[in-house]
Structure 1
Amino acid sequence: MSKLRIGVVGVGNIFKHAHLPSWLSHPDAEIVAVCDANQQAAQKLADEHGIAKIYSDYNDLIASDEVDVVNVCTPNLYHSVVSVAALQAGKHVFCEKPDAINPDEAVKMAEAAKASGKVLMVMRNNRFRPVSDFLRTYVDKGHMGEIYTGRCGWVRRRGIPGKGGWFTTKELSGGGPLIDLGVHMIDLAIWIMGNPKPVAVSGSVYTKFAGNDLNDSEHGAFGEKKTGGTFDVEDLATGFIRFDNGATLQLECSWASNVENEGRFIELRGTKSGFSLFNDDLKLFTEIEGTLCNVIPQLPKDSGGHKSNIHHFIDVVQGKADPIFLPEQGVDMIKILCAIYESAKLGREIRLD
């Protein structure tokens, strides 16, 4: 079987640290072209990895007959624009999260994928961790009973990425930690719950640390800082989601807040058992023979979700697997995120269509 030829649009940190090693580790994938507004960065990457084609305009890369798959790693504003153009040109698309910056753009992506018959997948790396697979199986086997409520989030003490650059510029990013971090943990919680349909959302957002330059998070190194640049997004968001089956989910995401430590967390509660996942530490709470028990599963501490996600995408393109992620799930995600921003603005719950 011939290799899938990958064309990359956007060669910043998320590509270099997460996407690039994932493509390079698969024997059926080959990066043949790169495009970036920073031609020096594109040239450097091409030289390092023997990539023949360098483009300054993504439309030229998409038009190339030598590209089978377009990997989109641009600022958030351009995720939908590049993805739709690539799908319409008959290319498969693997896009960095978030899917888009508003529901209309997410719908355009889903419709373009359906019309083209090509595979569209957006990064959902946390679904591909061993602990996530265990929890989804645990739920599917009925061990939790009815999951009726929970909470999730990702909080940092100090870790604002690319301050003054595109990360903190709402026009380019769509928002702050809610759209940057929330997409990860909300998606994972909903996926483990069995993908119930969101029907209503409420939330609040805060900007309290725009003038603070402290950083204690490795993730704060993402993006390029710009002195005197724009900071018109939140640094903390809270929210509440209602689902069509009566279940609810609370959430909290921050780039900066006065907490003890940075952490990712999901807690879900069912009628038979519940669980708490904090970073990689999982505990199950249940009853055994009339006794309340805490159970600690012994699972691999594997953070290679990006690699597994991209390898799964390749399997789907090659017809070896059914997709774990569907574009319609991405539409629901962006509806949730944007409704939280709208709720914060209007001070009331927002119903989802």
Structure 2
Amino acid sequence: MAALRVGAVGTGGMFRGAHLPAWLANPDTEVVALCDANEEAAQKIADEHGIPAVYTDYNEMLARENLDIVNVCTPNLFHSEVAVAALKAGKHVFCEKPDAVSPEEAAKMAAAAEESGKVLMVMRNNRFRTVAQFLKAYVQNGHMGEIYTGRCGWIRRRGIPGKGGWFTTKELSGGGPLIDLGVHMIDLALWFMGNPKPVAVSGSTYTKFAETELADSEHSAFGSKQAGGVFDVEDLATGFIRFANGATLALEFSWASNIEQETRFVELRGTKSGFSLNNEDLKLFTEIEGTLCNVQPQIAKKGNGHGDNIHHFVDVVLGRAEPVFKPEQGVDMINILSAIYESAKLGREVRLD
């Protein structure tokens, strides 16, 4: 069988560090074209890996290249634009998170995927971490009972990515840590909970560290800093989600705040047990033989899931697997994030139903 031909749009840090290694390692894919507004940077990658074609216009790439898959790694604003064009051109699409910068754009992506019959998948790498796979099985096998509440977040002490560049420019990014980091942990919590339907949210956002130059997080290296550039997004967001089944989820995401250390977490509580996933450390809280017990599973830590997510996508394209992620989940995600921003602006709860 001939390898699936991949064309990538956007060749920045996430593509180079997370996407490209997975495409190169997969025996069923071949990267044949790159597209980036920075032609010199794209050409450098192409020369290094023997990729034959480089473009600065993705429409030209779609028209000239016989592609099976388009990998979207642009700034957030362009995710939906490129994905919809690729789907309408009959290509499967794998997109970096977030799905889009607005519910309307996320819905366009989902509709284009349905109409084209092609696979659309957006990066949900945390679902593929070994500890997440363990927890999903633990939940599905009934060990949690009814999951009715929890909290999740990713909080940094000082970790603003690409300050002054597209990350901190709302028009291009859609927002700050809520849309940047929120997709990761909210998605993980919702996945464990069985993807309940959100019906209402409330939230608050803050910008208190736009002037800081301090950084203590490796993640602050993402993006390209621009001295004197734009910073019109939040650096911390808090929120609360209500679901149709009565469950609730509290959340907190920050690029900068005065805390002890950077932490990403999901904590859920069920009628039979609960758990705390703090970075890579997992603890289960339950009852055994009438005794309250804390259990700490010994799970091997393996990567961050990006490669496994892409390999799963390839298996779905080839008909070897059912998709773990479906576009409607992406629409729900962007509805949640957008409504939290709206709630912060209005100062009240926002209904989604």
- For normalisation by structure 2, the TM-score amounts to 0.99
Partner of 1:224: 224
Whole-angstrom CA distance in 2 between matches of 1:307 and 1:24? 10
Report 1:77-116 matches (<5 A): 77-116=77-116
Secondary structure of the corresponding residue to residue 142 of structure 1: coil
Report 1:280-295 matches (<5 A): 280-295=280-295
Whole-angstrom CA distance in 1 between matches of 2:104 and 2:310? 26
Offset, 1:25? 1.1
Q: Indicate whether 1:49 and 2:49 are aligned.
A: yes
Whole-angstrom CA distance in 2 between matches of 1:80 and 1:198? 22
Whole-angstrom CA distance in 2 between matches of 1:336 and 1:213? 31
Whole-angstrom CA distance in 1 between matches of 2:61 and 2:151? 42
Whole-angstrom CA distance in 2 between matches of 1:324 and 1:210? 37
Q: Give the RMSD, CA atoms, in angstroms.
A: 0.6
Whole-angstrom CA distance in 2 between matches of 1:256 and 1:224? 18
Partner of 1:201: 201
Whole-angstrom CA distance in 2 between matches of 1:237 and 1:246? 23
Q: Indicate whether 1:320 and 2:320 are aligned.
A: yes
1:138-160 C-alpha deviation (Å, 9 max, x unpaired): 11111111101000000000000
Residue type of the alignment partner of 1:309: N
Residue type of the alignment partner of 2:88: Q
Q: Indicate whether 1:157 and 2:171 are aligned.
A: no
Whole-angstrom CA distance in 2 between matches of 1:287 and 1:304? 31
Whole-angstrom CA distance in 2 between matches of 1:76 and 1:178? 13
Whole-angstrom CA distance in 2 between matches of 1:236 and 1:112? 33
Partner of 1:310: 310
Partner of 1:59: 59
Q: Percent identity?
A: 75
Whole-angstrom CA distance in 1 between matches of 2:52 and 2:140? 46
Secondary structure of the corresponding residue to residue 212 of structure 2: coil
Partner of 2:139: 139
- For normalisation by structure 1, the TM-score amounts to 0.99
Residue type of the alignment partner of 1:243: F
Partner of 2:11: 11
Offset, 1:125? 0.1
Whole-angstrom CA distance in 2 between matches of 1:169 and 1:62? 28
Offset, 1:302? 1.2
Q: Which runs of 5+ in 2 are unaligned?
A: none
Offset, 1:300? 1.1
Residue type of the alignment partner of 2:197: K
Residue type of the alignment partner of 1:327: P
Offset, 1:24? 1.0
Whole-angstrom CA distance in 2 between matches of 1:25 and 1:193? 32
Partner of 2:332: 332
Offset, 1:66? 2.0
Q: Indicate whether 1:212 and 2:212 are aligned.
A: yes
